[in-house]
């Protein structure tokens, strides 16, 4: 794991532990003060800032830095849908394409244990994960999805507002990995199909916490959409350092899946 991530995790754990020992409780309800915070000049919720990556609420977290979906939330499989849960094949381009510096894809990359920075204007919100410098530019004017695009690793996101909730609808994916579950169970590599469709909902719960829900809709695999809830903690203390550069191509030690140690 990146040393900066380990450091950030230790700092976060220390802060939470100290707060607990001192008898402090993190805010859990939307206070009157919260309603005045995190607003744009036109009164929309403002998600600008640095955040701890999405962490599962009431679900499993996976091993190491991997965040995974909890299977208890899955909808039933369609006949043949189980074929998208694949065992490792021994081919590193299949088992771990990131060894070749290939994109992690969405949502797996966004759930990686690295800081997230968001910028928001009247017309767009930009979501950046330090991992692979994953950048998603989401228009906020309610436009439809573009047509005629070649399928991509991160799809075509469009956003709109439902009250104080930012809704991001994404389609146009190529077939790729769903999450990092094969680090938890090497017999199962979860893939999504080219019919993959996601809906994210971001809502400020309090001054420091964003409720992040993602709905998975893959009609080639599941009989219906299903959702899992995560949360993202605001980390203004990370602004001074900012996102660190992540360039796999320059320092890749795992070309072809053959790593050369941890130097």
Sign of CA dihedral 183, 187, 190, 191: positive
Q: How far apart are CA 60 and CA 68, in angstroms?
A: 7
C-alpha–C-alpha distance, residues 120 and 137, integer Å: 10
CA 68 to chain centre: 10
Position 220 confidence tier, pLDDT thresholds 50, 70, 90: very high
pLDDT (0 to 100) of residue 256: 56
Domain ranges of the chain: 42-252
Which of 253, 223, 262 has the alpha carbon at shortest distance from 101?
A: 253
pLDDT tens string 162-205:
999 999 999 999 999 898 887 788 778 899 999 999 999 999 99
Query: What pTM value is reported for the model?
Result: 0.80
Give dist(CA 28, CA 188) in Å, integer: 36
CATH of 42-252, one of 2.30.40.10, 3.30.70.3280, 2.40.128.20, 3.40.50.1000: 2.40.128.20
The answer on pLDDT for 255 being more than 50 is: yes
219: pLDDT strictly greater than 70: yes
Helix (H) or strand (E) holding 171, with range, is strand 165-171
- Tell me what the mean pLDDT of segment 231-242 comes to: 92
CB-CB contact of 119 with 125 (8 Å): yes
Confidence of residue 251 (pLDDT cuts 50, 70, 90): low
pLDDT digits over 9-68, tens only?
Answer: 444 444 334 433 344 343 434 444 444 578 998 899 999 999 998 988 876 666 655 678
pLDDT tens per residue across span 104-131: 899 988 888 889 999 999 999 999 998 8
CA angle 170–206–64, rounded 5-degree value = 60
The pLDDT assigned to 4 comes to 45
Helix, strand, coil in percent for the chain, rounding step 5: 20, 30, 50
> What DSSP letter does each residue of 178-244 carry, written as one string?
--SGGGT-TT-EEEE-TT-EEEEEEEE-SSSEEEEEEEEE-TTTBSS-EEEEEEEEB-GGGTTT-PP
Token look-up 């660190």 returns 244
Which pLDDT band holds residue 258 (cuts at 50, 70, 90)?
low
């Amino acid at each position: 794991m990146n040393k900066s991530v380990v450091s950030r995790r230790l700092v976060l754990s220390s802060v939470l532990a100290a707060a607990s020992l001192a008898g402090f409780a993190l805010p859990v309800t939307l206070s009157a003060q919260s309603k005045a915070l995190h607003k744009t000049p036109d009164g929309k919720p403002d998600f600008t800032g640095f955040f701890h990556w999405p962490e599962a609420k009431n679900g499993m977290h996976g091993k190491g830095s991997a965040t995974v979906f909890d299977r208890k939330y899955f909808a039933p499989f369609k006949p043949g849908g189980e074929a998208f849960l694949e065992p490792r094949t021994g081919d590193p381009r299949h088992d771990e394409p990131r060894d070749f510096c290939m994109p992690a894809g969405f949502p797996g990359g966004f759930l990686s244990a690295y800081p997230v920075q968001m910028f928001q204007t009247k017309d767009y919100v930009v979501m950046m994960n330090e991992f692979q410098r994953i950048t998603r530019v989401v228009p906020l004017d309610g436009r439809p999805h573009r047509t005629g695009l070649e399928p991509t690793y991160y799809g075509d996101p469009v956003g709109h507002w439902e009250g104080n909730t930012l809704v991001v609808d994404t389609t146009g994916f190529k077939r790729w990995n769903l999450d990092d579950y094969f680090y938890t169970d090497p017999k199962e590599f979860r893939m999504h199909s080219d019919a993959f469709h996601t809906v994210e909902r971001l809502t400020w719960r309090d001054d420091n916490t964003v409720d992040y829900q993602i709905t998975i809709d893959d009609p080639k695999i599941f009989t219906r959409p299903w959702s899992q809830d995560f949360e993202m903690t605001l980390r203004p203390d990370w602004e001074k350092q900012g996102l660190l550069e992540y360039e796999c191509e320059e320092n890749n030690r795992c070309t072809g899946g053959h790593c050369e140690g941890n130097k």
